[in-house]
Structure 1
Amino acid sequence: MLTHVWGLLAHPSTEWTQISKEEETVTHLYAHHVLLLAALPVICAYIGTTQVGWSFGDNAIKLGYLEALYAGVAFYVTILAAVFAVGSVIRWMAKRYANPPPSRRRCVIFAGYIATPMFLSGLVALYPLIWLCLLAGIIGLCLTGFVLYQGIPHFLGISSEQGFIVSSATLAVGVLVLEALLAITVMLWGYGEILLPWLFRFG
């Protein structure tokens, strides 16, 4: 829940201990954490793209309100799908190291929590400079990695050494997901004025 946001950033080890004691459903997690936090970068990008515009050197590309809305919906769905994908990867890794492995439900919940810094880094999209968004994404990824490394041993009940292996593999997949999201973000928010009307006309 949102009550865990500060704890995950300030003292993740203690917060993971608290989270591990909770019995939470995927529906509750999405409703009270993922759905709310994933909306932050989408809303900020909508405002930034329609009011300020993506800055490419001396040029700024703005989207109309309707095009930005289409792009925002697509971006939002992509973020939610990415959380589920990372949770599935954690589940796959857990089958090898945890006995018994956690359910897919719990793995998706865990993925939703570790994505918290990435969600918060989307606030910079209010002023969508490419270099600023990339910098925020890198910082968010580093914090996500820290939260992940702290949380995996608690979550799977494994040693720190095994947790390092699982965390590294999960983070590698997370980097690929981040790169895909960045590419989609630039395409949708930066070039959506050209692409989106065409997609909705012929899709």
Structure 2
Amino acid sequence: MSAPFVKLFTHPEFAWKDIREQEQAQPRHYLAHLLLLALIPVVCLFIGITWTGWSLAENETVRLSTASALQLCVLLYLTIVAGVMLMGVFIRWMSRTFDARPTVNQCIGFVAYTATPYFLAGIFGLYPNRWLAVIVLAMASVYSTFLLFVGLPKFMNLNKDQGLLYSASVWGVGLLVLVTILVEMILLWFNVLQPEYLRVPVS
């Protein structure tokens, strides 16, 4: 487990300097963090929707077939990785407005580390439940937003006012990208891949 990863939760205000230095010294250093942690929600969700299942009616558990679950999880993994990279490109593009000159790799790395709470929240995919998902995702969103507003000014070496405006802009774009890419993924899965549900009576 890397020191910056731990610092994100113990001393987040100091983690970003280490992360930027790592990306300067080793371009694409973030890839291991992104590709491995993105597996957490994917693997846990696969287990949750094929073994645990969820209830839509009393005395009935709904699961997905292994093939449908695998399709969903592969699609989710590709969506996560593509979304992080797309946000990195957006941050690099917006940096010109604020006289910051990060590389694309540094920006993607920043997004990958900022999204860490979402990756860890994926553990709760082991137990698919609508209200649990809402609560956990809300908590992950709050902490990721905190990491964004604390980290971006330090990562980009900006003053407080510029950092606040830049962070707010990134937050707005990030919300738009997140909603758009998830909606497209869900529509593709439902309309093209056509999931197969298994309804199991509870004895």
TM range (shorter): 0.7 to 0.9
Deviation of 1:155 (Å): 1.4
CA distance in 2, matches of 1:181, 1:57: 30
Q: Are 1:33 and 2:28 an aligned pair?
A: no
Paired amino acid for 1:158: L
CA distance in 1, matches of 2:72, 2:175: 22
The size of the alignment, in residue pairs, is 193
Residues 49 and 64, structure 2, Cα contact 8 Å, conserved in 1 = yes
CA distance in 2, matches of 1:122, 1:154: 28
Tell me the equivalent position of 1:137.
137
Paired amino acid for 1:195: Q
Tell me the equivalent position of 1:46.
46
Q: Which has the higher helix share?
A: 1
Deviations 1:29-76 (A, max 9, x none): 21x200110000000100000011244464543111121111111110
Residues 64 and 195, structure 2, Cα contact 8 Å, conserved in 1 = no
Paired amino acid for 2:106: R
Structure 2 counterpart SS, 1:128: coil
CA distance in 1, matches of 2:64, 2:181: 19
Deviation of 1:181 (Å): 5.9
Paired amino acid for 1:86: M
Deviation of 1:174 (Å): 2.2
Residues 83 and 108, structure 1, Cα contact 8 Å, conserved in 2 = yes
Deviation of 1:125 (Å): 0.8
Q: 1:136 to 1:179 in 2, by over 3 A?
A: farther
Tell me the equivalent position of 1:200.
none
What TM-score, normalized to structure 1? 0.84
Higher Cα Rg, which structure: 2
Identity of aligned residues (%): 34
Unmatched 5+ stretches in structure 2: 197-203
Tell me the equivalent position of 1:83.
84
Q: 1:56 to 1:50 in 2, by over 3 A?
A: same
CA distance in 2, matches of 1:56, 1:175: 29
**Structure 1 stretches (4+) deviating beyond 4 angstroms?**
180-189
Aligned-residue CA RMSD (Å): 2.6
State which drifts further: 5-14 or 35-44. 5-14
The 5-angstrom pairing of residues 85-104 of structure 1 reads 85-99=86-100, 101-104=101-104
Structure 2 counterpart SS, 1:21: helix
Unmatched 5+ stretches in structure 1: 198-203
State which drifts further: 59-68 or 141-150. 59-68
Deviation of 1:148 (Å): 0.9
Deviation of 1:180 (Å): 4.4
Structure 2 counterpart SS, 1:158: coil
